[in-house]
Chains A and B, each alone.
Chain A
Amino acid sequence: MGKRPASRRAIVRLLVLIGPSLLYLLTFFLFPLLLVFAISFGERGTYGGVRWVLNLQNYVRFFDPLSLRIFGRTLYIALATTIICLVIGYPLAYFIGTRSPRWRNGLLLLLMIPFWTNFLVRTYAWLLLLRDAGVINLVWTGALHNLVSALAAAVPIPLWQPLLQATASPIRIYGTDSAIIIGLVYGWLPQMVLPCYAATERLDFSLVEAAQDLYANRFKSFTRVILPLTMPGVVAGSILVFIPSLGAYITPDLLGGAKSIMIGNVIYSQFMSARDYPFGSAVSFLLMAVMLIGTLIYFRLGTARTHVTDEGGI
């Protein structure tokens, strides 16, 4: 009897704490999601509506060569973005995390400044930089080409010939996968840096000294102590970059041109232009499944590093 009020209080407490978010998510996330899931088993109506005929056709359709190729490219772009973000972001995070507290906040602020500008505007700016008549190519075919020409005239050696040829025409970046990757890395780099920074900032540097005291050189100290202990940051950062890259829509739309599209653009066109809601829903669900599986595998890999040692392997 004495326990009753306590447990009732616990329920009230729970409702107050998670009730609002639960209600919100149920109404605006779970319910629409279930709706999309249901639609994915339907059929496109003649004029774009949904015919409720239960079938798996939309899922089967995804496995045609064209869709698979787009999906493969999406996966490649997302992976490349994640890896590049990690390679650039981790050292930066380590640098910031090892500064004095006063410097850290300033550097983090610098990292966040680009975010004060709208994402669309920033991506559009990349378009101005990267396109054939963009800023980069203006310098490449203009100033740089002129410089090489002048040098070739002054010092006539064969070395200049390939350079002259290369700078004669613009570099084709816009409309390629590289352009998308550049745009995505730019957009998601802070997502990699912040968790890695948090991990390095928490790192106890006497452990690094202990490793060096125990004959581990700089490289070994990094691979044996620093990296494993900052692994949670690496895992979190990678997921935070990989997931939005996989579902990217604006960046490939603006920088990928007509040829280079990603799965996000496919979903968009199914809903907005083809009006094939069932297929669009099916692709959305497959994308979610891939994200979920990818995240689970990655978490596994990330945590396995610390658990494998329980087997007693030296």
Chain B
Amino acid sequence: MTPRQNAVQLSQVSKRFGRVTAVDDVSLTIEDGEFFSLLGPSGCGKTTTLRLIAGFELPDRGDVFIGGKRQGETPPYQRPVNTVFQNYALFPHMNIAENVAFGLIMRKVPKQDILRRVSAALEMVRLPGMEHRRPDQLSGGQQQRVALARALVNEPQVLLLDEPLGALDMKLRKAMQLELKSLQERVGITFVYVTHDQEEALTMSDRIAVMSRGRVLQVDPPHEVYERPLNRFVADFIGETNFLVGVVKAAGRGKATVAVDGQLPLEVPAERLPGTGEEVTIAIRPEKISLHAEPPDQRAVAGTVDEVVYFGTNTCYLVALTDQTTVTVRCQNQQVGQHVSFPQGARVYLHWQQESVRLLRE
């Protein structure tokens, strides 16, 4: 026994539906007590991955381990996990108490314990006194909490959540995000959270697995995924990114010198060094760029303001380089009355910290 047990481990798991490979050779290790998100666009295989853990689907290849135990063909009702379904899936013919008690009844927990645990669970999700209501008498947000209580009351080793906030409106969703996160910290249960909402994943998760076309592209904490995307898909899917094409002029000592837009060569940090003359893509976030009327140093890139869009907290400038590439720049509006520093058509210089740039090769 290792001191820190893995809650869930997927080992080279694949799952096909007809000709579509929903999950393609995925290996993941989710640690005990972690808030782990599976993030990706629809059809990327994140829900199938969750269903493979829950046991609703069986892998064609590879193994699923829960709490170190190989699951094989173990049916869902024998796995130590519980699921919060996307549409909540509350039993419409049972009241709230019966819904929450369902798992405990199935496991033949003594009746006195059931009553106590059900009311404790409802209290935990802030729905005390709702025992005798029916699911259709509750609002979407309340149903969501019941679904959560129904799963958590069983004290599973792992809680699986399939886009649980997807059906809620924006404001409620934000509130529930914070509530879910603090709930997870309180109960200490491993959460595996499926979402297509990158902001949701960034704010709640300890670690995020970004998926696309059945494959896991990157597994990292939120700031790593955001600041150090491994490839173009991750950089593009999470947040906004400018992709600039350049030619490598020189490479060495963890740095590459790249000429963008035929302009002055820029130094870019590079983990794997590209060859000289190779065409590469560099990625930079819009908020990492500053605009200047005069070049602050020799590393600045020149352009012309094409469009100015005011967003309240920030102002967005679309800057055209000479090769027609458009770079998005976001400037925080720190001072009242300075929301547009550069008018349309103005000549500007783009500047950023060297380490803000990522070199992507593919």
Report which A residues bind B (CB closer than 8 A): 204, 206-207, 209-217, 220, 224-225, 228-229, 305-306, 309-310, 312, 314
Tell me if B77 and A216 are in contact (CB < 8 A): yes
User: Could you say which of A207, A220, A228, A314 contacts B106, with CB atoms under 8 Å apart?
Assistant: A220
Nearest CB of A to B52, in Å: 13
Would B97 and A228 count as touching, CB distance under 8 A? no
How many A-B contacts if CB must be within 8 Å? 78
Q: Which residues of chain B are within 8 angstroms of A214 by Cβ–Cβ distance? A: 77, 82, 102-103, 106, 150-151, 154
Judge whether B65 is part of the interface by a CB distance below 8 angstroms: no
State which size class the interface on B falls in.
Answer: 35 or more
Report how far A216 CA is from B91 CA in the complex, Å: 13
Q: Is the interface of A mostly helix, strand, loop or mixed?
A: helix
- 11 example contacts (A-B, Cβ-Cβ < 8 A) are as follows A204-B89, A209-B83, A209-B89, A211-B91, A212-B75, A214-B103, A216-B102, A228-B93, A229-B92, A306-B93, A314-B97
B76 CB within 8 Å of chain A: yes
Q: How far is the CA of A102 from the CA of B87 in the complex (A)?
A: 25
Pairwise interchain contact A314-B101, C-beta atoms closer than 8 A: yes
- CB < 8 Å: which of A206, A305, A310 contacts B89? A206
Contact partner, A309, options B87, B95, B105, B114, Cβ 8 Å: B95
Q: Contact at B77–A217, with CB atoms within 8 Å?
A: yes
A210 to B103, CA, bound (A): 10
> Are B54 and A215 in contact, CB atoms less than 8 angstroms apart?
no
- 10 tightest CB-CB pairs across the interface, nearest first? A214-B103, A210-B89, A215-B106, A206-B89, A212-B76, A213-B83, A215-B77, A306-B93, A214-B102, A212-B77
User: Chain A contacts of B92 at CB under 8 A?
Assistant: 207, 229
Kindly list chain A residues whose C-beta atoms are within 8 Å of the C-beta of B91.
Answer: 207, 210-211, 225
> 0/1 per residue, B52-74, Cβ < 8 Å to A?
00101000000000000000000
Contacting pair B83 A312 (CB below 8 A): no
Q: Are the C-beta atoms of A215 and B103 separated by less than 8 Å?
A: yes
Report the separation of the CA atoms of residues A217 and B87 in the bound assembly, to the nearest whole angstrom.
Answer: 22
A248 to B91, CA, bound (A): 39
The CA-CA distance from A212 to B83 in the complex, in Å, is: 10
Interchain CA distance A310-B85 in the complex, whole Å = 25
B83 near A215: Cβ-Cβ < 8 Å: no
